[in-house]
């Protein structure tokens, strides 16, 4: 059945699918037979943690499917299926963010208190992030049963969860809170952290989901996509690190604290690569300290090392290389990759 009334992909239409999925999850017999306080708790875990981000990752799945098959070829059921998988990526991100905020001792997330910081929640949040992860497989079962790609999607979400957990392992053991061991802050380690912790679930996963729904089975197509999308994901995170320090807080919507938080960022790894012994001593004395004077010393050092120019050079090089790789590949319509790249290149937030 072809698409008669053309579907317009907006945050509103994507949010409509969230409400469908939430009702399906609430209708689950286990939830239905709970006493009302437990039913309400479960619903609040979803409503507080799943919607509320920019929804870019989740909304990208439909864009990929439409780019491959043509929007006009998609039936209503195809659109719902793509958006359901897209929400699985938002559920996956919610699961990671609830867990990561506990591990990092964070205070706020997306402009509200972290879920575990709620008076009534605390360490119950550990069970809640497990429930968030379980919802992914409930949704996949509900919306992919009978689809030839059901197993592939199941494997995808398990594999990307494993990769992301390894990214978090590397991040937590490289930049443990409060202790600054700069010898571990190398660009190689940094690239591994962002690849596993961010690039797989933020870039590869949305595109791979769209590819499965489009009926692509050729392993080479997934390998080509992975190669390009991991590079794009690394570029996105390096840009994120740059914006944390040089972005306009008004535009980004938050004030960057990577320096105070001892973050293993592209800026500090690049600074260490070029710093003299004296400059390394300044970094050792002031990185990861929250007093404004220490932050000022680090930013002054970033100026001296001209990290802004180094980032701009990296950005230009990265865009050129990605554009060429996208043009050269024949696995997929270029639009799959260019629509993503155009959204992130030279972004300000």
| Positions in the binding site for ligand 5BK (CB under 6 A) | 53-54, 56-57, 60, 202-203, 236, 340, 343-344, 347
Both tokens assigned to 78: 């195809």
Is-catalytic flag, 54? yes
3-state secondary structure of 67: helix
Q: Which is nearer to ligand 5BK, 54 or 312 (by Cβ)?
A: 54
Tell me how far, at minimum, the Cβ of 98 lies from ligand 5BK, in Å. Answer: 16
Give least dist CB 106 to ligand 5BK, A.
Answer: 16
Minimum distance between the CB of residue 31 and ligand 5BK, rounded to whole angstroms?
29
DSSP secondary structure code for residue 7 in this structure: P
d(CA 25, CA 18): 10
Closest residue to ligand 5BK in the complex (CB): 56
Nearer to ligand 5BK, 136 or 344 (CB): 344
To the nearest whole angstrom, how small is the minimum distance from the Cβ of residue 221 to ligand 5BK? 19
Minimum gap (Å) between residue 131 Cβ and ligand 5BK: 23
Nearer to ligand 5BK, 312 or 343 (CB): 343
Which listed residue (22, 57, 109, 263) is catalytic? 109
Residue 339 CA to residue 228 CA, distance in Å, equals: 13
128 is known as an active-site residue: no
Q: Considering 11, 16, 47, 54, which one is annotated as catalytic?
A: 54
For residue 210, the minimal CB distance to ligand 5BK (Å) is: 11
14, 96, 101, 197: the active-site residue: 197
Nearer to ligand 5BK, 99 or 340 (CB): 340
User: Does 231 participate in catalysis according to the annotation?
Assistant: no
DSSP state of 185: -
User: Which residue in 236, 258, 310, 337 is the catalytic one?
Assistant: 236
Active site residue 240: yes
171 is catalytic: yes
Query: Which residue, 11 or 343, is less far from ligand 5BK as judged by CB?
Result: 343
- Are 32 and 182 contacting, i.e. CB atoms less than 8 angstroms apart? no
For residue 274, CA distances in Å to 152, 190, 271, 283, 301 come to 44, 16, 5, 12, 11
| Phi–psi pair at 121, nearest 5 degrees | -100, -70
Per-position b or e across 306-332, b if 16+ CB within 10 A of its CB = ebeebbeebbeebbeebeeebeebebb
Q: Which of 104, 117, 299, 304 is catalytic?
A: 104
Q: Report the 10 Å Cβ neighbour count for 214.
A: 22
Alpha helix locations (H) across the chain? 11-26, 29-32, 36-49, 56-69, 76-104, 124-144, 150-174, 187-194, 205-213, 219-246, 249-252, 266-274, 277-286, 292-304, 307-328, 335-344
Residue 197 is a catalytic residue: yes
Residue 337 designated active-site: no
**Cβ 321 to ligand 5BK shortest distance, Å:** 19
Decide whether 202 or 270 has the Cβ nearer to ligand 5BK.
Answer: 202
Q: Verify whether residue 157 is a known catalytic residue.
A: no
By the 8 A CB rule, do 17 and 83 touch?
Answer: yes
Q: With H, G, I as helix, E, B as strand and everything else as coil, classify residue 113.
A: strand
**The token pair that represents 308 in the structure block:** 């802004």
Closest CA to 183 of 193, 173, 192: 173
Identity of the residue, 283 or 344, whose beta carbon is nearer to ligand 5BK in the bound complex: 344
d(CA 273, CA 342): 30
Catalytic residues: 54, 95, 100, 104, 109, 171, 197, 236, 240-241
């Amino acid at each position: 059945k072809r698409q008669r009334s053309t579907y317009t992909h907006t945050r509103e239409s994507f949010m409509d699918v969230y409400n469908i999925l939430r009702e399906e999850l609430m209708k689950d017999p286990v939830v239905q037979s709970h006493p009302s306080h437990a039913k309400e708790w479960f619903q609040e875990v979803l409503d507080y943690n799943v919607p509320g981000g920019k929804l870019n990752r989740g909304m990208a799945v439909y864009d990929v499917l439409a780019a491959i098959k043509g929007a006009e070829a998609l039936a209503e059921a195809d659109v719902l299926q793509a958006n359901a998988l897209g929400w699985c990526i938002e559920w996956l991100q919610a699961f990671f963010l609830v867990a990561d905020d506990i591990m990092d001792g964070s205070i706020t997330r997306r402009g509200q208190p972290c879920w575990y910081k709620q008076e009534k929640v605390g360490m119950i949040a550990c069970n809640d992030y497990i429930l968030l992860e379980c919802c992914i497989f409930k949704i996949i079962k509900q919306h992919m049963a009978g689809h030839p790609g059901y197993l592939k999607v199941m494997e995808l979400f398990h594999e990307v969860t494993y990769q992301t957990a390894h990214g978090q392992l590397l991040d937590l053991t490289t930049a443990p809170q409060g202790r600054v061991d700069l010898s571990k802050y190398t660009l190689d380690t940094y690239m591994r952290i962002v690849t596993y912790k961010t690039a797989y679930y933020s870039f590869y996963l949305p595109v791979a989901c769209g590819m499965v729904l489009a009926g692509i089975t050729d392993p080479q197509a997934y390998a080509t996509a992975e190669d390009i999308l991991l590079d794009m994901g690394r570029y996105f995170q390096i840009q994120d690190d740059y914006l944390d320090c040089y972005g306009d807080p008004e535009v980004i919507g938050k004030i960057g604290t990577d320096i105070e938080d001892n973050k293993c960022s592209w800026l500090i790894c690049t600074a260490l690569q070029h710093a003299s012994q004296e400059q390394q001593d300044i970094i050792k004395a002031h990185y990861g300290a929250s007093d404004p004077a220490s932050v000022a010393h680090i930013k002054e050092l970033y100026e001296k090392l001209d990290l802004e120019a180094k980032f701009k050079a990296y950005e230009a090089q990265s865009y050129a290389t990605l554009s060429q790789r996208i043009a050269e590949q024949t696995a997929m319509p270029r639009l799959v990759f260019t629509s993503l790249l155009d959204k992130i290149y030279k972004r300000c937030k």
